[in-house]
A and B are shown apart, each in its own frame.
Chain A
Amino acid sequence: MNQFRQTSPALSWALTGILILLSATLQTTVLRGIEVFHVIPNLLFIIVVCYGLLHDDYSSLVVGVACGLILDLFGGRTMGMNTLLCVYVAWLCLSVSDNLFNHNAFVSMVFVAVLTVPYEVLTYLFYFVIWGKGAGWYAVFCKILPMVAYNFVFALAIHPIVKKISYFE
């Protein structure tokens, strides 16, 4: 069936762009209304992971840069911190994607959950610990772990969308 599909990289890029902007907007507006334990999911980070696992070219890095840049512009304190982390996350996902037998939603969910830990720990270290503003246990139990759980759940919704967009490539 796939051999008859219409491919259009331009359409794929346009849809990816819309998905990123829509996620950024939702993340800064609507999601705050349904936060659980004062935590919201990081949709842009989930997109980077799902995109990295479902693609095997430089486009993952571009998506990583775009999502990281938006996170930096709307929330970060040091311009480039999130961009750098998202690029490395994209690279990591890209590197392991070839070795995966199955690119299903559960794989994405697990990767999202696992990669949320170093991503948020590094953010916490960079913005709080090195400035002497650490609140260790609170950061782990009230911030990082709820974020892991929330990102894990939301990856289930993001994965099929990214997969659908990939279909046009």
Chain B
Amino acid sequence: MEKRRKMPVVIAIITVVILVFMALSFALPDSSSGNILGTILSPVQKFFSGIGNGVGGFFNFVGDMKDFQQENLELKDQVDELSRQVRELEGYKEENERLRSLLELKSNSQDQDMVGASVIAKDPGNWFYTFTVDKGSNDGILVDDAVVSGQGLVGRVMEVGHNWSKVITIIDADSSVGASINRTQSLAIVDGDLSLADSDQCMMNFITNDSSTVVVGDTVVTSGLGGVYPAGLLIGTVSEIKSDSMGYSQHAIIETAVDFERIREVMILRSNR
């Protein structure tokens, strides 16, 4: 009973301590406590992540069975079409290589210092779209390094530990990426949106209200403005365009190039700052 009488005092003390802690975490974002726990749990998460991928893969396989037959027919058609395109592109590639060597240019990807990383854990909640990878400051990773996959832009590093890093994806509501529309070179901002994130979509804002600026199917890439993401990384394609109520600007919904639900491996572009 004595304990119960003191309970409000204990709660008040805990509340004050946590509020001070919250204030400190704003002032000192690099928390060593997080680093220690992350370092300890990182190998365990890596182990369980492998199991999780297997379990998830099985359920996805069972769920997708019905679509496989139809998909197979479509894919056969696509293979024929793509084979024709590959032959055509090989010609362009040879020509491109000749011209490149003439101009002594190096491709951006060759200049970029990359490190491969595996996804070992995802956000424990349902509001944010972040994940943890198995590379950290020991591998030269820094906060704000861009993260990509074979499909396109994934996000950026938001927190770094010794052997782990936390990555915020471009579909997270706190994410904002300077973008440009590939066809018209118009600049815009691609923001994460809570209601679109589950379907791997983002919102592209600040597009001028000119019908020719953006059309459905346009490819959107990073603009390089803002200094976090290098220019030219594929974000996705425009799937829908909407005008604001005043008619001054329009926004578009972007279907991201990356399948965030099934992401397993990423490349981190080391910025060498």
Q: Give the interface of A toward B (CB within 8 A).
A: 21, 24-34, 38-40, 42, 44, 57-58, 61, 65, 70-71, 73-81, 83-84, 87-88, 91, 94-95, 123-124, 127-128, 133, 135, 138-139, 142-143, 147
Contact = CB atoms under 8 A, between A and B. Distances in A.
B173 A133 contact: yes
Contact of B14 (A21, A32, A73, A87): A87
Contact of B22 (A25, A80, A135, A138): A80
Contact of B59 (A27, A33, A127): A33
B233 to A, nearest CB: 24
A147 B126 contact: yes
Contact of B127 (A27, A28, A95, A128): A128
Interface stretch (B30-38, B64-72, B102-110, B136-144): B30-38
Secondary structure at the A interface, as helix, strand, loop or mixed, is helix
Contacts of A21: 41, 44
A1 to B, nearest CB: 27
Contacts of B53: 33
Interface stretch (B85-93, B192-200, B207-215): B192-200
Interface residues of B, number: 48
Contact of B18 (A28, A39, A84, A142): A84
A90 to B, nearest CB: 9
22 contacts: A21-B41, A26-B48, A29-B121, A30-B55, A31-B52, A33-B57, A42-B126, A58-B3, A70-B37, A73-B31, A74-B132, A75-B124, A75-B128, A78-B22, A78-B25, A78-B26, A123-B127, A127-B173, A133-B194, A135-B194, A138-B195, A143-B127
A74 B123 contact: yes
B49 interface: yes
A123 B127 CA distance: 9
Contacts of B198: 38, 142
Interface in B45-59: 45, 48-49, 51-57, 59
B174 A77 contact: yes
